[in-house]
Structure 1
Amino acid sequence: MARPRAFDEKQILDAAQEQFWDAGYAATSMEDLMQVSGLGKGSIYAAFGDKRQLFLRALRSYIDSNHENLRKVLGETPRAISALRMLLEAPVDEGDDSGVRRGCLLANSTSELGNADPEVLTLAHATYETSTELIADCISRAQDEGDLQAESDAIALARAILTAQQGIVYMSRTGMSTAALKATSRSLADHLLPARSSD
């Protein structure tokens, strides 16, 4: 009878995720993964496969967690318009002025591997489509609540909000100050989510 695994799979995936997020895929070695996971090479291969398979598992775990958080924020915030504004401002809250931020693991990985690894590109496309649909549902709720024009194309606006949010995340990696990032996110929110006139 096979022995049960003596490690927490989620903890290993989280540790690998942090390593890939900090260093990128190419700069992460099996030795790095062994060090952060506390597992030997044989155990990693037996449980997760090679480096690429572990990376994909960690990336999917990151995506699942992000979608879970997105559903929670968009679904549980009392007013949909507030949730949409929070979405644009959230990346700024995670930053500080201590140096270059890490950005989004999926965006970083797509930039690094998208041209060479079709599976990463396909995963990124599917992820952003799901995010767009979740945001569009929230936009429809904001329209029902009277905070956004009813004739606005929810999908088109959702893509614009997602693109703006990812742009803020990218600019945070350039070392732009938190104050400038906050001002930019507020400006984007004002342009994309203008207050509806009471007429």
Structure 2
Amino acid sequence: MNRGRPRTFDPEQMLEQAMQVFWQCGYEATSLQDLLAATGLSKSSLYQTYPSKRALFEAALRHYCAQRRRELCERLQAAVSPREFLRSWLLCALEAERAGETPRGCLLVNVASEFSQADPEIAALLRSGIEGLRQVLGEALLRAQACGELDASADVPALAGYLLCVMSGLRIQRKAGASAEMLHAAIEVALGCLR
């Protein structure tokens, strides 16, 4: 039985390249040609791996969520303290500026803005991705309580949700052209709520 030619590309790298295109352009504005150019694949190779643009988009969104959660966990493990981890994470909203790139925002926020709740499958992926981030932030806040950086009576789930809202707002404001100074001030106000 002929199984066809073996893959000559790295599926993880291809997914990363596709994710970057969707992140930059959005789902609707991303064309098949954009994806082929970014991944370097032929149309047949792309469709052998993902049967549609939609299937590739969903896989790219899952990849983004897993990647961001993994990075957040690694940052938390390496942090000097939970509070410094949270400060560092909020400052990520300014990273694109330091790299000299146009701010792209958060892919989760971008997708939520593009799709809203009109698509149940995408909405479920968004909820799952956000919940993964909320769990890591909740762990950081519990650690902050354990070491005395956060009051023992603080509502950890509410604060984790609050910090996600702050980060989403920071990313949107940065995309809209808000100054680094304004965002730094907002970050300090947010951190001031963690007592």
TM-score (norm 2): 0.92
Runs of 4+, deviation exceeding 6 Å: none
Q: Given residue 136 of structure 1, which amino acid in structure 2 is its aligned partner?
A: G
Shift of 1:175: 0.8
Shift of 1:122: 0.8
Aligned length: 193
Tell me the percent identity. 34
| 1:144 corresponds to 2:140 | no
* Change over 3 Å in CA distance of 1:97–1:126 after alignment to 2: closer
Shift of 1:183: 2.1
Counterpart Cα distance in 2 of 1:87 and 1:97? 16
Shift of 1:8: 1.1
Counterpart pick for 1:173 among 167, 172, 175: 175
Q: Given residue 123 of structure 1, which amino acid in structure 2 is its aligned partner?
A: L
Task: Give SS of 1:28's match.
Answer: coil
Counterpart Cα distance in 2 of 1:77 and 1:151? 23
Counterpart Cα distance in 1 of 2:139 and 2:98? 31
Counterpart Cα distance in 1 of 2:47 and 2:118? 23
Shift of 1:84: 1.7
Corresponding position of 1:109: 111
The answer to whether the 8 Å contact 2:66/2:129 transfers is: no
Shift of 1:174: 0.2
Shift of 1:27: 0.7
Shift of 1:97: 9.8
The answer to whether the 8 Å contact 1:97/1:177 transfers is: no
- CA-to-aligned-CA distance 1:100-149 (integer Å, 9 cap, x gap): 51101111012102333211111111221221121111111111101110
Counterpart pick for 1:28 among 30, 40, 46: 30
Alignment of 1:91-170 (within 5 A): 91-96=93-98, 100-170=102-172
Instruction: List alignment gaps of at least 5 residues for structure 1.
Output: 195-199
Shift of 1:179: 2.2
Corresponding position of 1:56: 58
Q: Given residue 165 of structure 1, which amino acid in structure 2 is its aligned partner?
A: M
Alignment of 1:33-48 (within 5 A): 33-48=35-50
- CA-to-aligned-CA distance 1:69-123 (integer Å, 9 cap, x gap): 1111122213112112222222123325967511011110121023332111111
Counterpart Cα distance in 1 of 2:132 and 2:117? 21
Q: Given residue 24 of structure 1, which amino acid in structure 2 is its aligned partner?
A: G
Corresponding position of 1:193: 194
TM-score (norm 1): 0.90
Shift of 1:37: 1.4
Counterpart Cα distance in 2 of 1:30 and 1:184? 39
Instruction: List alignment gaps of at least 5 residues for structure 2.
Output: none
Counterpart pick for 2:73 among 67, 71, 74: 71
Corresponding position of 1:197: none
* Change over 3 Å in CA distance of 1:11–1:115 after alignment to 2: same
C-alpha RMSD of matched pairs (Å): 1.7
The answer to whether the 8 Å contact 2:96/2:102 transfers is: no
